[in-house]
Amino acid sequence: MRKQTKGAGAPAAAAAGLRPPVVVLVNPQLGENIGTAARAMANFGLTELRLVAPRDGWPNDKAVAAAAAAAPIVHAAQLFDSTREAVADLHYVAATTARPRDLVKPVLAPDSAAREMDARCREGQRCGLLFGPEKSGMDNDTIALADAIVTAPVDPVYPSLNLAQAVLLMGYEWRRQLKPAGLGRQTEFDGPAREGLRMQGTRPAKRDELVGFFDHLEAELDRSGFLYPPEKRPAMVRNLRSLFLRLGATEQDVRTLRGIVSSLAGDRRGRGGTS
Amino acid sequence: MRKQTKGAGAPAAAAAGLRPPVVVLVNPQLGENIGTAARAMANFGLTELRLVAPRDGWPNDKAVAAAAAAAPIVHAAQLFDSTREAVADLHYVAATTARPRDLVKPVLAPDSAAREMDARCREGQRCGLLFGPEKSGMDNDTIALADAIVTAPVDPVYPSLNLAQAVLLMGYEWRRQLKPAGLGRQTEFDGPAREGLRMQGTRPAKRDELVGFFDHLEAELDRSGFLYPPEKRPAMVRNLRSLFLRLGATEQDVRTLRGIVSSLAGDRRGRGGTS
């Protein structure tokens, strides 16, 4: 549920017809850190902030104070109950976190992630960057909602970046990739998924469409007994979601996949069940 | 005059025979900012800190406290009376500042400056990065000592970076430019699917395994009526195969997908059919 929608921001980029990636802070703890993250966003032209269940409530005076001249970004921030809702309308989501051990996700350097987002934004897609809570980092269920993981090449001896620094690096890379509007970025072949999109002439699935497919698939697999035993279900679900997220699915793909699941499972119910 | 020389630091880089650029803080004001700058250095493997006439004297307990685990960099910092002395032994010096109006200097983006320094360090040259005082910025006499100016591509509407952030961006670019020799550049990314494979520690599916999955899926979809009518079947099959080929599936993925199809469809046959 979107609780607050005081305008989506992005005046500068809107002028250029390009909406920069959304910054999504998942369970941020200190208001000060939300404010300094907003400042880092402003440094590099990121303007749209979304907050998932900030620990100390919202609005937060400390966030406004720490944001200083970037306070308009804080005031316009949108509040969500869950990450899933916060990314529902986005076409491509990258989670900034250390490399997880037990999830299959593409791991991108910040420049690669920024190039990917720049290309997608130019096609009218909406992109988002997820940042986890200050202390605990991002949990695997949140990471599972992302298309890719972004990891800065920090020294392994001293890897900790604070929230504002992580936002700063991504903002820096985003802005560094920006080409002068109008000159037309050189089209590159950058992977089977993106090429697939162009060939098919359809748009990428939005996150809520993908999550709808996941719900559908998982409900059928619960019925058929695939997601058994219960203690293994969470990890199995994460792995399945990661597998299908790697498709870079279009909305047509999602319809096709849902059709497959319905056909295989619905037919089952039709013959052997209630229907 | 060099006042303090408790070892030049740089253990990690020294082991690889490459000494990273020196960070020179010119007239830093708050001890806290010296400490957070040291932390930003540590994040990206910069280890040698020089201070020119810090406002609040030296040593500074607040700098040590703010540095946290990067305190060794602060303890090993060298103190100088003037910028001229602080850069005396360096071969190449870049000043991080906004573009000056009345000085003729090359102006580099952070990545270009990092490449230049990387190349020079490899030739055994010593390089340095100058950062000015927090409030007033760098004066022209200091800038005049530099070979080049480095300017981050900040949004002109909100250009202010704090000292630690400026250090962080330069450290990030330095580390990003590092070539494989010695210091271990982050593994180059070459596409979502392939990177995913590495993480999982499994091998890409062979073509016959993929085709085996296709046969399995299509047989079940024939039974369930999805691939109907017959005249559309060839195009539908091609599209399905394209969709799943875009996964860049591993052999584990193929097993998972076959498990899903078996579970959904096998259950159908078990309940409603011949089993």
User: What pLDDT, on the 0 to 100 scale, is given for residue B25?
Assistant: 98
Distance (Å, whole) CA B205 – CA B249: 6
Please judge whether A248 and B246 are an interchain contact, meaning their C-beta atoms are less than 8 angstroms apart: yes
| Virtual torsion, Cα A22, A24, A29, A30, nearest 10 deg | 0
A152 contacts A169 by C-beta, under 8 angstroms: yes
Q: What are the pLDDT digits (tens) for A21-30?
A: 999 999 999 9
> Which of B74, B112, B177, B199 has the most A C-beta neighbours within 10 Å, making it the best mutation to test the interface with A?
B199
SS3 breakdown of chain B: % helix, strand, coil, rounded to 5? 50, 10, 40
Please judge whether A172 and B189 are an interchain contact, meaning their C-beta atoms are less than 8 angstroms apart: no
| Residues of chain B with C-beta less than 8 angstroms from the C-beta of A111 | 176
User: What pLDDT, on the 0 to 100 scale, is given for residue B219?
Assistant: 94
Q: What are the pLDDT digits (tens) for A156-208?
A: 899 989 999 999 999 999 999 885 543 333 222 223 333 333 334 578 888 88
> With bands split at pLDDT 50, 70 and 90, how would you rate the model's confidence at A12?
very low
Selected residue with higher pLDDT from B106 and A39: A39
| Virtual torsion, Cα A61, A66, A69, A72, nearest 10 deg | -40
Q: How far is B92 from chain A (nearest CA, A)?
A: 24
Please judge whether B172 and A153 are an interchain contact, meaning their C-beta atoms are less than 8 angstroms apart: yes
Selected residue with higher pLDDT from A180 and A239: A239
Please judge whether A155 and B45 are an interchain contact, meaning their C-beta atoms are less than 8 angstroms apart: yes
Distance (Å, whole) CA A88 – CA A91: 8
| Residues of chain B with C-beta less than 8 angstroms from the C-beta of A155 | 12, 42-45, 175
Identity of the residue numbered A209: E
Please judge whether A217 and B260 are an interchain contact, meaning their C-beta atoms are less than 8 angstroms apart: yes
**How many residue pairs from chains A and B have C-beta atoms closer than 8 A?**
193
* Mean per-residue pLDDT, A245-253: 86
Identity of the residue numbered A254: V
Q: What are phi and psi of A107, to 5 degrees?
A: -110, 120
- What is the full per-residue pLDDT of chain B (275 aa) written as tens digits? 444 434 444 444 444 568 999 999 999 999 999 999 999 999 999 999 999 999 999 999 999 999 999 999 999 999 999 998 999 888 899 999 876 666 677 889 999 999 999 998 988 889 999 999 988 888 888 888 888 899 999 998 899 899 999 999 999 999 998 854 333 333 333 233 333 333 445 667 777 788 889 999 999 999 999 999 999 998 888 888 878 877 778 888 899 999 999 999 875 554 443 33
Please judge whether B192 and A196 are an interchain contact, meaning their C-beta atoms are less than 8 angstroms apart: no
Written as one string, the DSSP assignment of B129-185 is EEE--TTT---HHHHTT-SEEE-----TTS----HHHHHHHHHHHHHHH--STTT-P
User: What pLDDT, on the 0 to 100 scale, is given for residue B179?
Assistant: 56
Q: Which chain A residue has the Cα nearest residue B156?
A: A43
User: Which tokens sit at B50?
Assistant: 């020089």
Question: What are the angstrom distances between the C-alpha of A46 and each of A12, A89, B1, B35, B97?
Answer: 9, 18, 44, 28, 22
> With bands split at pLDDT 50, 70 and 90, how would you rate the model's confidence at A16?
low
User: What pLDDT, on the 0 to 100 scale, is given for residue B101?
Assistant: 65
Please judge whether A175 and B153 are an interchain contact, meaning their C-beta atoms are less than 8 angstroms apart: yes
Is pLDDT above 70 for A38?
A: yes
Q: What are the pLDDT digits (tens) for A73-106?
A: 999 999 999 999 999 999 999 999 876 667 778 8
| Residues of chain A with C-beta less than 8 angstroms from the C-beta of B111 | 176
B178 contacts B185 by C-beta, under 8 angstroms: yes
Give the number of other CB atoms < 10 A from CB of residue A171. Answer: 27
CB-nearest to A264 from B199, B264, B273 is B264
Selected residue with higher pLDDT from A67 and B242: A67
CB-nearest to A264 from B157, B246, B261 is B261
Please judge whether A155 and B43 are an interchain contact, meaning their C-beta atoms are less than 8 angstroms apart: yes
Return the H-helix or E-strand segment holding B108.
strand B107-108
Name the percent of chain A lying above pLDDT 90. 59
User: Which tokens sit at A17?
Assistant: 């017809």
| Residues of chain B with C-beta less than 8 angstroms from the C-beta of A240 | 256, 260
Average pLDDT, chain A: 83
User: What pLDDT, on the 0 to 100 scale, is given for residue B181?
Assistant: 39
| Residues of chain B with C-beta less than 8 angstroms from the C-beta of A217 | 260
Q: Which chain B residue has the Cα nearest residue A169?
A: B169
Please judge whether B193 and A192 are an interchain contact, meaning their C-beta atoms are less than 8 angstroms apart: yes
Paired strand residues for A143: none
| Residues of chain B with C-beta less than 8 angstroms from the C-beta of A263 | 221, 224-226
| Residues of chain B with C-beta less than 8 angstroms from the C-beta of A193 | 192, 246
> Which of A73, A115, A246, A269 has the most B C-beta neighbours within 10 Å, making it the best mutation to test the interface with B?
A246
| Residues of chain A with C-beta less than 8 angstroms from the C-beta of B152 | 172
Please judge whether A157 and B272 are an interchain contact, meaning their C-beta atoms are less than 8 angstroms apart: no
